[in-house]
Chain A
Amino acid sequence: MTTDELDPLIHVPTRLKIVATLAALPDGDTLSFTRLQHMIGLTPGNLIIHLRKLEDADYVSSTKASNGNVSITTVALTSHGRKALDAYTQALRDLLSGL
């Protein structure tokens, strides 16, 4: 059995939730920061930290759009991130094959 590494960036439960949630969006769709926060149940600070790590790896992209005095941050999975999640689930599936 080869040691297919489980991507540590995705493996952390909170980040796994973030990535999986974003992956459920149709390709190219974005989710607002607030909405993501409510779905996952994190504090803003916590979510920002995890998003930054995912952004640094180019798994996730975020866009800040401001319209007048309201600014909204939207988050999306990049194609790189989707590939990483695919590889991760594949590794996990191999590990848990038959279960």
Chain B
Amino acid sequence: MSTGALDPLIHDPERLRIVATLAALPDGDPLSVNRLQDMIGLTPGSLITGLRELDDAGYVRTGKTGGRTAPAAVALTRDGRAALDRYTAVLRQLPPVARQDDQPPAPGVRAGDADRDAAAAALGEHFAQGRLTRDELSARLDVTLTATTHGELSQVAQDLPGPDGVPGPGQLSRGKRARPWHKPGPAPGQGTWQHHRGRTPGRSS
């Protein structure tokens, strides 16, 4: 797995339910285990098992442990809360979204006037620096100014380097495959999770 993995200790549905329920309490507030059981609807057996596993990891602190007696109260620890925060952060990153700012538009994406102007300006710079003859410049400008897609624009500058830190359109896509599914629009890091989240406002409480 590339980016952070989902903490398996929290990802288990029963433990996830326990941790989420405890996390809704004010920091450090203990909850009676009976009450927790009512809220979650787990069998006492799976609740105790889940609590023990979380306790072993230091994610929760149970009131009365040791021996066979069931704990009376339980609270989320600071570690537990941090682990849950990391867990939800990983969830929000799903799926791995390409960052808008370092991805060139896909070749098939339509180009606008601003794109054509930028490409033409880059060609002018190449001419000024002696990389293109006047005839080549004029031929390429014709193509550039009538280009309809980003693919056509990058084609024109394919054999040209980026002049003085201003990369030509061809530079941007070199070595990186454009991602066809990546539509311009959503901000970087806007994954499915957040997308779904935004679709139903007023759900959180």
Contact = CB atoms under 8 A, between A and B. Distances in A.
A96 B50 CA distance: 18
B88 A98 contact: no
Contact of A99 (B6, B13, B84, B193): B84
B103 to A, nearest CB: 13
B191 A20 contact: yes
Contacts of A6: 13, 16
A3 interface: yes
Contact of A24 (B5, B8, B97): B97
Interface residues of A, number: 32
Contacts of B11: 11, 13
A97 interface: yes
Given A97-B203, A98-B205, 12 more contacts: A1-B39, A13-B8, A13-B11, A16-B94, A20-B94, A20-B95, A26-B181, A39-B95, A86-B196, A89-B197, A97-B204, A97-B205
A17 B23 contact: no
B84 A21 contact: no
Contact of B96 (A21, A86, A95): A21
B166 interface: no
Nearest to A18: B95
Which of A29, A39, A99 has the most CB atoms of chain B within a 10 A radius of its CB? Answer: A99
Contacts of A11: 11, 13
A93 interface: yes
Contacts of A8: 13
A25 interface: yes
A54 to B, nearest CB: 15
Interface of A: 1-3, 5-6, 8, 11, 13, 16-17, 20-21, 23-26, 29, 31, 39, 41, 85-86, 89-90, 92-99
B192 A20 contact: yes
Contacts of A13: 1, 5-6, 8, 11
21 contacts: A1-B41, A5-B13, A8-B13, A13-B6, A17-B95, A20-B95, A21-B96, A23-B95, A24-B181, A25-B181, A31-B181, A89-B193, A89-B196, A90-B196, A90-B200, A93-B196, A93-B203, A97-B24, A97-B204, A98-B204, A99-B88
Contact of B192 (A24, A94, A99): A24
Contacts of B5: 13
B57 interface: no
Interface string B1-31: 1100110100101001100100110000000
Interface in B89-146: 91, 94-97
A82 to B, nearest CB: 10
